[in-house]
Amino acid sequence: MFLHKYLDVPYLDLVYSNYEEEYLHSLDEDNFHKVYLLLKENNFYFIADIILNYLALFTIEVQYVQMAMMQLNNTLGDNWVSMIGKNMTLVNKIIDLAIDYSQKEDNSTNFV
């Protein structure tokens, strides 16, 4: 399991207690890393908390996460990362938007 590269022991223990081992082993390390870097590049200072509470974000292809983050940035303005840090439920908004973007692309390729 690769999560030890991103979390300290207390957070890692919490992740293992919050999620099924089978689910954790199903995570794609490459995509996880790309989403992690995207968050880091955008100065998310609470990435460990996102991993702990919103691990589903790391299962979505990074391009859709990026599109969702850009939309939230446009909606919330310059302090968008700080606003998310103060109201972590906004991570759900990123997840929902990213899933919507991925489904729209899936639907558009089905008609070609």
User: For residue range 5-14, what is the model confidence (pLDDT) as tens digits?
Assistant: 999 999 999 9
Digit-coded pLDDT (tens) for 7-45: 999 999 999 999 999 999 999 999 999 999 999 999 999
| Listed residue (93, 71, 18, 70) closest to 48, CA to CA | 18
What pTM value is reported for the model? 0.91
Asked whether residue 111 carries a pLDDT value surpassing 60, the answer given is no
pLDDT score for 105? 79
pLDDT score for 112? 47
Asked whether residue 109 carries a pLDDT value surpassing 90, the answer given is no
- In sequence order, the 6+-apart residues with CB closer than 8 A to the CB of 38 are 62, 65, 66, 69
- Rounded distance between C-alpha atoms, residue 3 and residue 14, angstroms: 12
Structure tokens at 51: 């991993």
